[in-house]
Each structure stands twice: as structure tokens, then as C-alpha cells.
Amino acid sequence: MSAASASAEPTVAAGTPPRSSVPDPTQGSTRPAEAADVHTRILRCMLAVDDCYAYWQHVDEDVPVADRARVAFERRWFGTKSEARVRTIMTDMIERFDAYPEALALFRRLGTVPSNLRPFLCHVHTQLADPIYRRFTGEWLPTRREQGLTTLDRDTVARWVDGLQAGRWGASTCIKFASNLLATALDVGLVSGRRDPRKLPPIPVPDVILGYVLYLLRGVRIDGSLTDNPYLCSLGVTKATFRSFAARVPGIRFAELGGVIDLAWLEPSLTAWGLRYLGAST
């Protein structure tokens, strides 16, 4: 193991964030945080995998955020989409990716990202930027799976949306929320079928995606712990099943003794991890 690997070997009790034996630049109040304010952007922009990928490839961080939609339209980052549509897309791209600068810089450096990984990467960043989508995919859907429920329908999702903040949205808006939440989850593979009843299929998540989530969340302030959070739960990894997945995650060495989980970070940063493992997948 390299010196860099040996310098960051956190020992964690199950369900708690890692503690490193050396100062960790990803820790502290300067870390980016998951979005907490509820919004309705998913009514206008869903997973948008192709648009996300175009953004990673074209974004120029030297262009001020206020000018970026205009530049994206003029340079056709998103093809022939209208200027109004580009402004809508850009609002989401900035919240999903610019808010997590190391991740965005990594995607730009990689250039090419395998098509089978893109929906999962977009899913995780949509979760970060959207509290409703995060709760839907990271709490509500996993709970249904745990209860042995294998189907769902749009009306059930609409009632769930209304129950989040009763009376805030009208019935038609709740239905639109439900339709778009289901369509977004469908694009990731978390649900199947375009008509009711939709099914909850097995989630074939590539191991490298679990590594991305762990390395990304190590540097993000979230409501949860590194081993128990909506991001992993949405991909089928719960606090109870973390052990069965962790041993095969690239860039992580996992051990457990006396109920204490030991995670060794074999790469010093998300960037180093991504260039080694996501880059190797290209």
C-alpha cells in the first residue's frame, strides 16, 4: 500500500462517518452540502443524461455563471434546443455539478464517461440537488422494497408528494411531480415500465458507482452517515447490507472487527480515485 493510502485509514463504528488519523482536506465547514430547500425544478428538467454529459464536456468554468446559459446557447452545447430551454437546463446543471466542484472538474478531465455509468452519476447528483427526488429514491422506494412491495403507480406517488407538505401544491402539480419522479427513476433503472403499475426491479449497480458515491460523499455534508444514507439506499445498499457490498468497492479496503467497520481509503481524493477507476472504465 502506498504512503498516500496508509495516511488515510478511518476506523468507523457502523453508521458513523469515517475518522482519519491525519488532517483531511475534505472535512470542515468549507465542504459543499446537499441541497436542503424544496423546489420544483424536476417538473421542468428530469435526469437529462445527454444534457449532463454535454455539460461536462463543454462547460468553461472561466465563464461567469450569469453568462453561461447565453454562451451555451450560442455555442450549441445542447444541440438545437431553444434559448429558453437552455436556460432551464443550465439552472439544473449549475445546481447539480457546479455546487460540487471537485466532481465537475473530474468529469471534465475524464472527457469520456462510459454510457452505462452516466445515468447513475446523474442520479446521484440529482439527489444532491433535489430534496424531493432524494427522499423519493433514497427513502420511499427503499422502504417499499423492504416491505415486500414490488409495484407502485402514479396516483400513489402523487399522494406521497402531497403528504410531504400537505396543501402546498394542487392536484395537477402533484400528478406532474409523480410522473416526472417516476420517469427519472425509470431512466436510472430504479423502476421499470412506463404504465401503471410500475415495478421495482433488482438494481444492477456497477461496483465503481458505489465507489464514486463513497468518495464523493466523503467531501460533502449530508444528513446521514457515510455508511447509511439516501444515496447508497437508492442503489440497494442499506446500513444492514453495507458489509456485503463494501468488500468489492474499488478503492476501498473494508474490514470489520467487534462491530467496528474499518474503511481504508486507498486513494487520497475523489479526483485521484476517479482518474484511476472511472478513467479505467472509459
Each residue's pLDDT, cut to its tens digit, for the chain (282 residues) gives 333 333 333 334 333 333 332 334 444 458 999 999 999 999 999 999 999 999 999 998 889 999 999 999 999 999 999 999 999 999 999 999 999 999 999 999 998 999 999 999 999 999 999 999 999 999 999 999 999 999 999 999 999 999 999 999 999 999 999 999 999 999 999 999 999 999 999 998 999 999 999 999 999 999 988 889 999 999 999 988 898 898 899 999 988 877 777 889 999 999 999 999 998 765
3-class state of residue 187 by DSSP: helix
Q: pTM of the full predicted structure?
A: 0.89
For residues 73 and 80, the answer to whether their CB atoms sit within 8 Å is no
Helix segments in the chain, DSSP class H: 3-6, 49-58, 65-74, 83-93, 101-110, 118-129, 131-135, 141-146, 154-164, 171-188, 207-217, 230-234, 242-246, 270-277
For residues 217 and 9, the answer to whether their CB atoms sit within 8 Å is no
Per-residue model confidence (pLDDT) at position 23 = 34
